Amino acid sequence: MSDSDPSPVMAPVIFSRATSSVRPRDTEVVDVDFLVIGSGLAGIYSALQATRHGECLLITKARLQVSNSAWAQGGIAAALDADDDPAQHVSDTLRAGRGLCKGSAVEVLAREGPSRIEEMLELGVPFVLDEEGRPVLGLEGGHGRRRIVHADGGATGQAVVKALLPRLAAAPGLRVWEGARAAALLVDGSACRGALVEREGGWSRVRARATILATGGACGLYARTTNPPTATGDGIALAYLAGAMVADMEFVQFHPTAFALGRPAFLLSEALRGEGAELWNTAGERFMPRYDAEGELAPRDVVSRAVTAEMAATGADHVQLRLDRVPPAALAHFSQLFDTLRSRGFDPQKQPIPVAPAAHFLMGGVKVDLDGRTSLPGLLACGEVACTGVHGANRLASNSLLECLVFGYRAAVTAADRSPSGAALPDAVPVPYLGPEDRHALGEQMFTDAGIVRDGGRLQSLDAYLDTLPASMERTVAGLITAGARARTESRGAHFRADYPREDDGLRCHFVACAGRPLQAEVWE
């Protein structure tokens, strides 16, 4: 703990003050075997797997096509090449995670990853293939081998989601509710029995023998982000308020090369740097070799802080990504990305691209085991909403979509083993959202006080600001991020504190939050 803040850091305890309990007479009751909340790759894929074992309802507060997965421009990492193997993938992931990865989770990710990629090929995902029909493999920062598969001109996430949606529509026993939000989990004191869902101006209480959270991350809380505005950490708030454990919330990854003009920002894939793109400051200097021997292919936390430092030194609000040394054949793989840039008035083959960091990925989330189980029976989680420990303090590039596939599959298999429950459904208190004005102000405050560089004073100020906000999904998640960042009085991976700029071996642990208790430090092997 900081000398200036000796008291135990409490996880926020936030309950809805705005809405009364919704009672059975106010709602319809819907019974299903499995309820999947969220429609990114983890949600879609786990729902497809769950339908093999029973009736499934998938709900999404937006449309099926709107998710972090659909916006993902990177690729999917897997040890597919002859000179690669899962052990090397494990090694690279552990190195990026700065000593906080859960080894068993990383082993599962790397070992099962190639099988999930093969399944995606069988399902028709249009990965870029060579003349012999094998995936063309790219290189990204932190990887010691070429192991990144891509599709559709660099828009890999969109291509994967697009390929799976027809399968979703055709799956027997699967229903989809778009424009439906989970407002609370239904908990009878010992287990999750489903969720209270708001849709079409009314309420439904959905009873399920297993509920799978796949709501994505929370970087939409930040003013500058690569995430869609729907990425507000709803699943984390719902699980926490229902009594489930949440971990590693201080670790928010900022992507170093997001287009610097306009919001939301869209990222310039790390694969561009893998093919030779360089970062220059506005004074005309290539700077990354001064910060790390790996240059532009250093881990994301290193590159993001270097970009931030160069922006401060030059007084500019961006640096430049230059493509002069990228071979023309490699540039052809990023056609969709370049089309987007041209639509914004930039010719990426003739002009340096202005880039700056943006909030991109949350390493923390609802604490789960290797099969997706949370600490609350009946509730599972997968994808970015979950914290398996696989990413540690800093996610290795292109491990996120792979995580959705590997652990989405496991969560669905685990859900299928859960016995049906005839328990009566309890009442629930819906958790509201912030209004637009508060939401905007929170985003600016989060980017300033819980951004790439933090310190104890700014985090305390952020805590005080959060106390002025009404109870809400956003306030709950922002409070969890702030609590973790205050507790971690060191710098590790994506979490950097100017007042504690070095790693502390005594803090090689995970901070776990549970409502009503101080944060607990745990060591995961």
Residues 369, 382: Cα–Cα separation, whole Å: 10
Does the annotation count 458 as an active-site position? no
As separate numbers, helices (DSSP H) first and strands (DSSP E) second, the chain gives 15, 19
Residue 69 Cα distances to 22, 215, 408, 426, 432, angstroms: 32, 11, 13, 33, 25
Tokens of 485: 């960042």
Residue 443 Cα distances to 263, 312, 343, 466, 501, angstroms: 12, 21, 27, 12, 25
Residues 6+ apart with CB under 8 A from 13: 515, 516
Residues 6+ apart with CB under 8 A from 207: 29, 30, 31, 32, 186, 193, 194, 421, 425
Q: Which of 116, 147, 273, 300 is catalytic?
A: 300
Q: Fill in the DSSP letter of residue 151.
A: B
* DSSP H or E run through 88: helix 86-96
Residues 32, 463: Cα–Cα separation, whole Å: 40
Reduced to 3 states (helix: H, G, I; strand: E, B; else coil), residue 110 is helix
| Residue in this structure with the two tokens 């897997």, named with its chain if needed | 78
Would you name the residues annotated as active-site residues? 300
